[in-house]
């Protein structure tokens, strides 16, 4: 019998390792904590996500479900062991190279699991079919890529990699540059929130409310602590030195870091326990008594008269209403030839990034340092400082790699808790959320109930829209105000609509906080508007694509807020779909000619999305410096959460400066080292930080040319301690001879860009965004009308990026957004208290995403860097409505609620009177 303390020896990546301690320990924990192999990730500890996949005796297994004691004598391969020549740094396997070549790693958190699962397959089948690869990878979840590039990389991994050829200066923009931060993602060397912590760090665990709404009081905390030598300290709200309220929008800040007497949210933290390193973090019998209180989970009930208030001072549980009014929508609808009206209901949607919130913190002198995954380092710094009563300059935020964010990692989560423990104990601390903690306590996409009416004239020109949206903003404000303001602006879709009355109100309940999630409410609004467009086109007797083309914005059109548009690419996107549309309709008609229960359908939907904050400043600053030694340093503060900011910002800067991408050394993000490049949200980084990077590159170039006395046509070359400038004549700028500035640079440029917007008035009239991006997607699918199931066949996505900075990354964003749109349409429904894990909450797997054809359109925007626009959120918006439109085309059934689970589709088919 193996007893704790006995040895088991296993071979990991060819090295024999003696396992001591607890034989029942998870292999994933053993690899990460004892063997120091942190390339193996823990996403759920339940076998649901596959991030911890390793190869044990030739078979891919979930390390989180494997007790290490079981592996005596076994041979285990982790991601660190996949390189062709173990121990020879820099030698990637063909599979790893294929991942880089195809852009198959975005955030990189699922990459180790994908690679090991694929390597186990390739060992048996070096050239697998797509179907074989789908089976092998079906248990590894990815939330970023949409899987298509992973599938392509695995099936292409037999091929020898041809390294990238160097690009000529000025040719970076538009090139398929491989991710600059890609190699550590495929070797397992990348460090995410849970992967690094200072020696001796305390391990923090939060005590959380199991109730939707409950009062609570503590028993004898000191006695509980005294009986447990592993407990170093316990904190409650009473220990918080600053303002125990946070919120991304200061005027609405309402969320405590640790609740005070009442918990308004299932999963809300009420106390924090710091455990000594090595101690079992056991919260059993923690002395807290709950008094469950009546709760509200239905926003309609919550806004009804007499409902209890989630927050005092917010009557009717009303957080905010956003409104856009232009013309007289009611009169215009009454005068319209055709009018459709309908409703749409959506569910809570969980971000389901594979990396739960994680990080560590420590003191460096007077400065609190926080390393955690985030989308918004400067906001984290300011909110944490305020909660802890520190000036912001005493908090340094050093983000880790981020294993997916999609909006939820804009809000602080564990940062104030880490800071509190470190500040109070003076000792370093670390914290890793469990999957359940991550799902219960962080934000969700707002569930929406929308009613709308749209009219058109006899020629199919849209006349008016009236739109009313009720958004469940849950327990705390988070980004509720942003959603309420953004939705009415976008409610028309990218179409000329002369008369508009659009309102969106955010109502509190005791559900999860509605926050930022890719699209800020616009995907919900588009579901309502785009499905009504299909009905309206049918009424008017016009082809559905033609109807959209007829109404799509063109250059110089005015939006519902009265803004005149430039760089308007929606018409181009719809036009690009036209040949695909004709083909798809013909194929569907041919397939449907025979009777049967399998019916083909084709659907289309559009999107538009304003890049950056709505009528609020959101500047980015980028610094670029040349050291006296000739090192070119880009202070890149725009968080790369997988979307590719590190690469794209560098590509833009490189071409503005005139030096190749390989010449750049990237620093940051780090609030001590990088200027504020704002948050990674609202599809703003390529556009806003890109503009700042372009300006910084141009400014540094101008300085160099001035020193060389040459004009703009010159080419630059870096040499040791010098820049060589070649124009009509050749000059050598001696960097070592220049006096370094306070940052240590011989030459430096720092530039800020803030989008030119104008406030919205009471009727929502104004210029909320400087730049919009556009897109349209076409879905082909097959419905089994007997079973109510939907099989996606192909998605064709045309998106106007203004200027494509990096086609591989753009396609990756598109495919990933589409996968999330598929989830929104067909399967994702977060039910508080019931779906707090990744086997009850379903996100698309590799088999759920059909082939995707991306059509990248370039209608340059005058504001964007090299004409570029944002893309990240746009790509999710059209997918779900295009799916519903295709289902309607296939079956004749109008869908008014998502997700369209099989039983709902079947019920709708039955309700329409089918057999």
Which residue, 389 or 847, is less far from another protein as judged by CB? 847
Q: With respect to another protein, which residue has the nearer C-beta, 654 or 846? A: 846
- Residue 833 CB, nearest approach to another protein (Å): 7
Contact call for residues 627 and 746 (beta carbons, < 8 A): yes
Instruction: Supply the minimum distance, in Å, between the C-beta of residue 420 and another protein.
Output: 25
Residue 379 parent element (H or E): helix 377-388
Which CB, 13 or 845, lies closer to another protein? 845
User: Which is closer to another protein, CB of 161 or CB of 784?
Assistant: 784
Give me the half-sphere count of Cα atoms (radius 13 Å) on the Cβ side of residue 754.
9
DSSP state of 34: I
C-alpha–C-alpha distance, residues 821 and 30, integer Å:
37
Would you say 393 or 786 has its CB closer to another protein? 786
CA distances from 340 to 331, 540, 892, 907 (A): 15, 11, 16, 23
DSSP string covering 634-651: EE--S--SSS-HHHHHHH
Q: Which is nearer to another protein, 760 or 838 (CB)?
A: 838
Least distance (Å) from another protein to the CB of residue 274? 20
Q: Give the C-alpha separation, 271 to 358, whole Å.
A: 17
A 10 A CB-CB count for 728 gives 8
Rounded Cα gap, residues 209 and 214, in angstroms: 8
Residue closer to another protein (CB basis): 469 or 844: 844
- Is 702 or 910 the residue whose CB approaches another protein more closely? 910
Quick one: 266 or 505, whose CB is closer to another protein?
266
Per-residue b/e over 306-334, b at no fewer than 16 CB within 10 Å?
Answer: ebeebeeebeebebbbbbbbbeebeebbe
- Report the SS3 class of residue 753: strand
Q: Report phi then psi at 611, rounded to 5.
A: -90, 125
Query: Closest by alpha carbon to 857, among 774, 796, 770, 771?
Result: 774
In the three-class reduction of DSSP (H, G, I as helix; E, B as strand; rest coil), residue 205 is classed as strand
Output Rg (C-alpha) for the chain, integer angstroms: 27
Residues 6 or more apart in contact with residue 306 via CB below 8 angstroms: none
Q: Considering the complex, state which of residue 585 and residue 838 has its C-beta at the smaller distance from another protein.
A: 838
Q: Which helix (H) or strand (E) holds 416?
A: helix 415-425
Helix (H, G, I), strand (E, B) or coil at 178: coil
Q: How far is the CB of 83 from another protein (least distance, A)?
A: 22
Cβ proximity to another protein: between 548 and 906 the closer is 906
Q: How far is the CB of 207 from another protein (least distance, A)?
A: 12
- Residue identified by tokens 């959460």 is 641
Quote the least distance from Cβ 116 to another protein, whole Å.
9
Q: What's the closest the beta carbon of residue 298 comes to another protein, in angstroms?
A: 15
* Shortest Cβ 431–another protein spacing (Å): 18
To another protein, the closest distance from the beta carbon of 82 in angstroms equals: 16
Question: To the nearest whole angstrom, how small is the minimum distance from the Cβ of residue 587 to another protein?
Answer: 22
Q: What angle, 0 to 180 degrees and rounded to 10, lies between the N-to-C axes of helices 94-102 and 148-155? A: 140
Nearer to another protein, 688 or 852 (CB): 852
Taking the C-alpha atoms of residue 455 and residue 466, their distance in angstroms, rounded to an integer, is 9
Shortest approach of another protein to residue 303 CB, angstroms?
25
Residues in the chain: 915
**Count of other CB atoms within 10 angstroms of residue 711:** 9
Q: Which residues bind another protein (CB under 8 A)?
A: 1-4, 23-24, 26, 45-48, 50, 53, 59-62, 64-67, 69-70, 117, 134-140, 210-211, 784, 786-789, 826-827, 831, 833-835, 839-840, 842-848, 901-903, 906-907, 910
Rounded CA-CA distance 136/122 in Å is 10
Decide if 825 contacts 898 (C-beta within 8 A): yes
In whole angstroms, the minimum distance from the beta carbon of 519 to another protein comes to 21
**Beta pairing class for 395-397 and 367-372:** parallel
């Amino acid at each position: 019998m193996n007893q704790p303390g006995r040895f088991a020896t296993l071979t990991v990546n060819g090295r024999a390792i003696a396992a001591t301690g607890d034989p029942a320990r998870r292999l994933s924990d053993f690899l990460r904590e004892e063997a120091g192999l942190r390339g193996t990730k823990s996403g759920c500890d339940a076998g649901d996500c596959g991030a911890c996949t390793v190869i044990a005796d030739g078979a891919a297994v979930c390390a989180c479900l494997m007790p290490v004691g079981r592996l005596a004598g076994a041979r285990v391969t982790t991601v660190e062991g996949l390189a062709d020549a173990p121990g020879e740094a820099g030698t990637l396997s063909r599979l790893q190279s294929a991942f880089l070549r195809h852009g198959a790693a975005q955030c990189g958190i699922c990459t180790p699991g994908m690679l090991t699962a694929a390597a186990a397959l390739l060992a048996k089948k070096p050239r697998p079919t797509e179907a074989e690869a789908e089976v092998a990878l079906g248990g590894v979840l990815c939330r970023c890529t949409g899987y298509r590039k992973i599938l392509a990389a695995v099936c292409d991994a037999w091929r020898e990699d041809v390294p990238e050829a160097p690009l000529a200066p000025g040719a970076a923009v538009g090139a398929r540059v491989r991710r600059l931060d890609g190699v550590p993602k495929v070797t397992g060397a990348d460090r995410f929130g849970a992967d690094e912590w200072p020696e001796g760090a305390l391990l923090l665990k939060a005590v959380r409310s199991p109730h939707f709404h409950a009062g609570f009081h503590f028993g004898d905390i000191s006695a509980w602590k005294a009986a447990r030598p592993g407990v170093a300290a316990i904190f409650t709200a009473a220990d918080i030195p600053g303002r125990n309220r946070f919120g991304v929008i200061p005027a609405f800040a309402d969320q405590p870091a640790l609740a005070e007497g009442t918990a308004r949210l299932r999963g809300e933290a009420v106390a924090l326990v710091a455990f000594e390193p090595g101690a079992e973090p056991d919260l059993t019998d923690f002395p807290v008594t709950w008094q469950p209180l009546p709760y509200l989970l239905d926003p309609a009930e919550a806004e009804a008269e007499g409902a209890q208030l989630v927050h005092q001072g917010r009557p009717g549980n009303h957080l905010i209403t956003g409104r856009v009014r232009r013309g007289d929508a009611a009169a215009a609808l009454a005068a319209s030839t055709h009018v459709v009206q309908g409703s749409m209901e959506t569910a809570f949607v969980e971000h389901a990034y594979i990396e739960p919130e994680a990080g560590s913190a420590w003191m460096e002198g007077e400065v609190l340092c926080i390393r955690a995954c985030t989308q918004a380092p400067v906001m984290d710094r300011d909110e944490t400082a305020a909660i802890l009563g520190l000036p912001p300059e005493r908090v340094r935020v050093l983000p880790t790699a981020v294993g997916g964010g999609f909006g939820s990692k804009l809000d602080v989560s564990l940062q104030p808790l880490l800071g509190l423990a470190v500040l109070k104990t003076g000792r370093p601390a670390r914290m890793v959320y469990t999957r359940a903690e991550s799902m219960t306590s962080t934000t969700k996409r707002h569930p929406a109930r929308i009613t709308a009416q749209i009219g058109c004239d006899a020629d199919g020109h849209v006349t008016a829209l009236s739109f009313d949206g009720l958004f469940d903003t849950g327990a705390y404000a988070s980004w509720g105000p942003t959603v309420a303001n953004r939705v009415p602006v976008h409610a028309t879709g990218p179409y000329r609509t002369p008369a508009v009355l659009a309102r969106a109100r955010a109502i509190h309940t005791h559900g999860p906080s509605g926050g930022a999630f890719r699209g800020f409410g616009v995907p919900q609004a588009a579901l309502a508007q785009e499905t009504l467009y299909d009905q309206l086109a049918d009424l008017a007797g016009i082809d559905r694509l033609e109807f959209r083309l007829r109404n799509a914005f063109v250059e110089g059109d005015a939006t519902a807020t009265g803004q005149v548009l430039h760089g308007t690419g929606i018409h181009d996107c719809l036009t690009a779909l036209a040949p695909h549309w004709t083909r798809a309709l013909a194929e569907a008609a041919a397939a449907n000619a025979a009777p049967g229960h399998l019916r083909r359908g084709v659907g289309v939907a559009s999107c538009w999305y304003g890049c950056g904050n709505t009528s609020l400043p959101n500047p980015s600053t980028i610094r670029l410096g040349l050291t006296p030694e000739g090192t070119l340093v880009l202070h890149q503060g725009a968080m790369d959460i997988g979307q590719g900011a590190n690469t794209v910002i560098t590509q833009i800067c490189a071409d503005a400066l005139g030096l190749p991408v390989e010449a750049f050394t990237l620093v940051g993000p780090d609030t001590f080292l990088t200027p504020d490049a704002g948050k990674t949200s609202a599809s703003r980084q390529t556009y806003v930080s890109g503009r700042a990077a372009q300006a910084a590159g141009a400014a540094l170039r101008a300085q160099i040319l001035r020193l060389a006395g040459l004009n703009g046509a010159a080419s630059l070359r870096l040499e040791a301690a010098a820049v060589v400038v070649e124009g009509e004549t050749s000059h050598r700028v001696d960097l070592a001879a220049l006096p370094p500035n306070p940052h240590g640079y011989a030459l430096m440029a720092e530039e800020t860009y803030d989008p030119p917007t104008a406030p919205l008035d009471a009727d929502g009239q104004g210029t909320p965004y400087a730049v919009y991006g556009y897109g349209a997607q076409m879905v082909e699918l097959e419905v089994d009308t007997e079973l109510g199931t939907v099989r996606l066949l192909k998605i064709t996505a045309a998106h106007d990026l203004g200027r494509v900075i990096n086609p591989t990354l753009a396609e990756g964003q598109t495919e990933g957004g589409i996968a999330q749109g598929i989830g929104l349409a067909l399967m994702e429904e977060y039910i508080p208290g019931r779906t707090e894990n990744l086997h009850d909450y379903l996100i698309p797997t590799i088999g759920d995403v059909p082939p995707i054809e991306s059509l990248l359109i370039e209608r340059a925007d005058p504001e964007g860097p090299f004409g570029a626009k944002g893309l990240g959120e746009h790509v999710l918006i059209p997918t779900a409505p295009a799916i519903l439109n295709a289902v309607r085309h296939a079956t004749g059934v109008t869908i008014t609620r998502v997700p369209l689970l099989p039983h709902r589709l079947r019920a709708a088919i039955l309700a329409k009177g089918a057999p």
